[in-house]
Structure 1
């Protein structure tokens, strides 16, 4: 038996190699941890998406067979000038002033024309006075002729004396005729003077609104704008009740529009305003350069904010709009809808919302329940989950 000391002695095995160290465990563990970290980062990284907003759409979009652009013009428009040449003495209107037909809007210096009218009146009054004198002379000569006839019949006067009485009576009648002609001449001269005076008064030819003021007091007005310093038109005005849109329609689309067709007019300056219109006329000529035909679309509805030269867009409708179709409706891109629901983006998170859809409005679809205006939706949310982190990217 071994002694206790021998039992405590370390027994060494001669010739047996020690177990090798496992150095590959730590790199493997690091690789596993790195992979888990990358997987976690990929899982929590926001998903790139494209978005679309909830917007307003008009029901007329579904009824529009053709859209054309153009400008608002006044069918009745005029540049008001004077037939006379002179210096502008008074101007009674400015831009935006309403005027009625025949209203005096400007006056040229006309002291000379007024003097000519006064002279013509005086000449006519003098001619009338001479006519009365001639009529009195003719009456006296007629009486003398009657007495001469009686005396000649009784043999108290000679034939020569009677002939003198006859001659005086005829001269008196001729004088009356001559003075009547002078009166007609003076009346014509007075009328001519008044026409010249009226030419210095510039009046509105029709009821409307002054659009532009082209001259100021002191400017020389010439009907033919003969000199560099002279002005032709004093003001430009238009009848705002005759506003219409001149829209250019491509030759290839002429079959989609016709005379009397109902339209809806949208103005770029008033995007929230839609006015009913109708095709009033079609210009029977083609613009060769643009290959278009001009359609004149009148306003069935009027708004005081509509002004000439505004740019406009005309939608040619397949039928007249009903009253409920005159208001805009909430609409969304159909690509945002999946299985009756959409994903609304709020603070970088996509939230699933059930929606109730309505009619198709052009390229959009009406949404009747579940969304609000300007909410941001995910386009084509395939495989997206409620509560997922998202990040908008450009298309």
Structure 2
């Protein structure tokens, strides 16, 4: 009997010593992390291509052989700077001819002015002749009346009266001639005046033709439409230019323009002049901060997206048109709040939980979440900074499971 008691006691002691070791061997290995505080943003991610602020293909306005090219790809140009010259021999000859036509038209006007003044002088002389003839005719008429009485009384002879009548008839003839001269002089004045008007119209026409040829001559010089950089050249010296074919492409890339597409349900979340945006350009390994400058008022009927325009300064011209940009519109920001990795959350029946490690055991705790980004989640309630939670290995953990931390995320 005493031997059985001894064996039982030995087994009991051995079992009690092995239990902790067996329990430890059943602990679930997990990765753990501590809840930290930080800044997190609610954002909309999209992508777009970089566009120049201004970009045009420069066409010549005149056709002809290219005699000079002054710029090349990469040249920085100013507005109205000369880019290329087209042969202008024909335009110069036409311009000289048009200048001569203007000179002739001006001389014709001056000649007509002299003729007009001469006609006016002739008119004045003719009017003076009418006055003289009219005065003489009136005097002779009065004299005739007296002589008629004297002739009846026998005081003058018939010959004297006939001589007076001859003078009177001559005076009438001179008066008629003088009036005719006045009428002709009036016609001459009116004709000279009308001719001056015609010559002035011819001058206007000649000057308009001269201006048109001047524009055609100026158009043989191809100029930059705005400040920018030449990004393409399509012709060489000696080639034939025509308005249908561009010679250069010029772009203004400081600043640049980015137009991003955003799905229609999110477009109202972005505000012109207010919503910040982070622009990542992987090609040059740079990130830029900017603001949404313009939210377009319409939605594309096919893609069901709206457009947002951002103007980005580019003083060093590192950003090139055509680059690929990743954009993140930051809708709102939480600062100095508890943050955990998205992988540490468990979602069940619309609620969120984490496993907190307390005394080497997993304790499931409900949490309320806020902003969620690609990898992190804001914790509004349920966790405090510094608490240790299970970051990975959740699929093997249950409420109260004993766990063994094999690696801490904070140590990695």
Indicate the TM-score class for this superposition, using the shorter chain for normalisation.
0.5 to 0.7
Match of 1:191 in 2: 211
**Residue 167 (structure 1) aligned to one of 182, 187, 193:** 187
**1:71 paired to 2:49:** yes
Paired with 1:333 and 1:320, the residues of 2 have a C-alpha distance of 18
TM-score by length of 1: 0.60
Q: Secondary structure at the match of 2:103?
A: helix
**Residue 196 (structure 2) aligned to one of 176, 198, 210:** 176
- The structural deviation recorded for 1:286 is 4.7
Q: Measured at CA, do residues 300 and 170 of structure 1 come closer, stay the same or move farther in structure 2, by a change above 3 Å?
A: closer
**1:221 paired to 2:244:** no
Match of 2:130 in 1: 152
Match of 1:129 in 2: 107
Match of 2:368 in 1: none
Q: Measured at CA, do residues 199 and 143 of structure 1 come closer, stay the same or move farther in structure 2, by a change above 3 Å?
A: same
**1:266 paired to 2:277:** no
Paired with 2:333 and 2:61, the residues of 1 have a C-alpha distance of 48
TM-score by length of 2: 0.58
Larger Rg belongs to:
2
Q: Which runs of 5+ in 1 are unaligned?
A: 1-58, 225-231, 323-331, 340-359, 366-378, 385-395
**Residue 205 (structure 1) aligned to one of 191, 207, 225:** 225
Paired with 1:106 and 1:240, the residues of 2 have a C-alpha distance of 22
Q: Measured at CA, do residues 383 and 189 of structure 1 come closer, stay the same or move farther in structure 2, by a change above 3 Å?
A: closer
Q: Secondary structure at the match of 2:322?
A: coil
**1:99 paired to 2:112:** no
- The structural deviation recorded for 1:116 is 0.9
Q: Secondary structure at the match of 2:292?
A: strand
Q: CA RMSD in A?
A: 3.5
Q: Which has the higher contact order (CA 8 A, sep 6+)?
A: 2
Are 1:275 and 1:302, in contact at CA under 8 Å, matched by a contact in 2?
no
Paired with 2:334 and 2:220, the residues of 1 have a C-alpha distance of 51
Are 2:42 and 2:373, in contact at CA under 8 Å, matched by a contact in 1?
no
Q: Measured at CA, do residues 214 and 301 of structure 1 come closer, stay the same or move farther in structure 2, by a change above 3 Å?
A: closer
**Residues 103-130 of structure 1, C-alpha deviation per residue, up to 9 Å, x if partnerless?**
2222222211111111110000011111
Q: Measured at CA, do residues 250 and 302 of structure 1 come closer, stay the same or move farther in structure 2, by a change above 3 Å?
A: farther
**Greater helix share, structure number:** 2
Q: Measured at CA, do residues 115 and 319 of structure 1 come closer, stay the same or move farther in structure 2, by a change above 3 Å?
A: farther
- The structural deviation recorded for 1:382 is 4.9
Are 2:270 and 2:331, in contact at CA under 8 Å, matched by a contact in 1?
no
Paired with 1:166 and 1:254, the residues of 2 have a C-alpha distance of 81
Match of 2:63 in 1: 85
Q: Measured at CA, do residues 124 and 202 of structure 1 come closer, stay the same or move farther in structure 2, by a change above 3 Å?
A: same
Length, aligned pairs only: 275
Q: Secondary structure at the match of 2:49?
A: strand
